[in-house]
Amino acid sequence: MKKILFILILTILVGCEKDDGNDLIGNNGSLNHAELGFELDEPDVILNELSKGNLDSTINSIFLVMYGNTYRKWEFEYLENTNTVDKMTFYLPHYQGCEKNIYQFNYNSSQNIETVVSTRTNTCNEFEVIKSYSFNYNQNGLLKSIFMDNEFTVQEYYIGYYPNGKVKEIWWDSRGSGDNVDFSVQRYYYDVEYNNVVRMEKEISGNTHIYKYEYDNRQNPFKGFFIAYGIFIPYVGHSYLSLNNVSSITENRFSNTNDNEFTYPYDFEYSPSNDLIRYRDIEDERVYHINQ
C-alpha cells in the first residue's frame, strides 16, 4: 500500500503524459496565461540549466518495464556532434503500436531551447494532439518561464533562482477552460557544493510534501534535461537538477493530521566503462533500461 501511494505521488510530481485521449475534450475559447503577481529572485550568474536540452548522446533509447508487464519507450536523436537533443519520440504502452508522441526541439541563437513542439498521433483511433512549449527569457537571457499551449489546456512554470544561478523554486499551474488558477510550488535545497538537491518541499492544494534525497557518486546522465511536468521522462528524484544519481528518497507527507515518513531505495547498474545502463526501485516495480 505504501508503495502504491508513493507511485501515485511520483506520478503527480513528474506529471505523466495523458494517454487516454481526454485532452481532446476541451473548451470553446482561448486560455490566457496567469501571472504570479510577485517577482521571483534572479541570479547573479546565468546558468539556464533547464534550457540546454542536453542529454548524454550515447543514450539512443530508454526502455521502461513497469509492474512486470507494462512498457514505455523513449528514443532520442541529437544535433550532429553534440549532446543536444533534436527530437524525442515517446511510445505509450497499451496502444499496440498505434500511438507515438514526437517532441521536436528548437533552439535560439544562444543555444537555449526556444520551443518544444509535441505532436501526438494515434493511427488506430485517428486523432492528433499538438502542444507547444515556449521557453521565455528576459532581456539578459535568463529563463524566466515556460508556457505550454494548445486548444484545450495551458500550463505555466515560473522559475526563481539562487544567486549562483541554481534553480531555487518553480511555481506551476495547469488548467483547462473554466478551471481556477491554482499555483503550486516546489522549492529546492542543495548540498554545500550545490551539486545535488538534498531536499525538496512541494506545496500543492494546501498540503506540503517534503522529500529528502541521498545520492551515489556516479554521474547522472539526465541532469539538465527538462521540458515540463506534463512530460513523462525517465525520472528518479530531481534528476534534471542533480549531478549524481538518487540512491534513496525519503518522503514525509503532511496532509491535515497525517504525518507519515517512508524511504524508498533505488539500485543502479553500470557498464564496465561506468556508464549507467539500468536502474530500478528496490522492488523492481519500475526498471529503466538505458540503451547505448
SS3 content of the chain, % helix, strand, coil (to 5): 10, 50, 45
> Residue 88 burial (CB < 10 Å; 0-12/13-18/19+)?
buried
30 occurs within a structural domain: no
26 occurs within a structural domain: no
As a whole number, mean pLDDT of residues 250-255 equals 74
Distance CA(203)–CA(253), nearest Å, equals 11
53 occurs within a structural domain: yes
CATH code of the domain in which 286 resides: 2.40.160
Q: Does the pLDDT at position 16 exceed 90?
A: no
Residues 97-123: b if buried by 16+ CB within 10 A, e if exposed: eebbbebbbebeeeebbbebebebebe
Predicted pLDDT at 23: 35
93 occurs within a structural domain: yes
What are the distances in angstroms from CA 47 to CA 44, 85, 214? 10, 18, 24
Question: Cell for 39?
Answer: 517577482
As a whole number, mean pLDDT of residues 134-163 equals 94
153 occurs within a structural domain: yes
Question: Cell for 55?
Answer: 542529454
In eight-state DSSP terms, residue 13 is H
The structural domain count of the chain equals 1
Q: Does the pLDDT at position 235 exceed 90?
A: no
- Of the given ranges (80-84, 150-154, 199-203), which has the lowest mean pLDDT? 150-154
Predicted pLDDT at 75: 93
Predicted pLDDT at 179: 79
| 8 Å CB contact between 142 and 42 | yes
Predicted pLDDT at 71: 82
Question: pLDDT (tens digit, 9 = 90+) per residue, 205-231?
Answer: 778 889 899 999 988 888 888 888 767
Cite the beta strand spans of 67-183 per DSSP E.
70-78, 85-91, 99-107, 113-122, 127-137, 143-149, 153-161, 167-176
Q: Does the pLDDT at position 257 exceed 50?
A: no
34 occurs within a structural domain: no
What is the domain range of residue 106?
A: 2-18+39-291
Q: Does the pLDDT at position 152 exceed 80?
A: yes
* pLDDT category of residue 27 using cuts at 50, 70 and 90: very low
Q: Does the pLDDT at position 55 exceed 50?
A: yes
Q: Does the pLDDT at position 10 exceed 70?
A: no
257 occurs within a structural domain: yes
Q: How many residues are recorded in the chain? A: 292
110 occurs within a structural domain: yes
Q: Does the pLDDT at position 119 exceed 70?
A: yes
Residue with cell 510530481: 13
Maximum distance among all Cα pairs of the chain, rounded to whole angstroms: 56
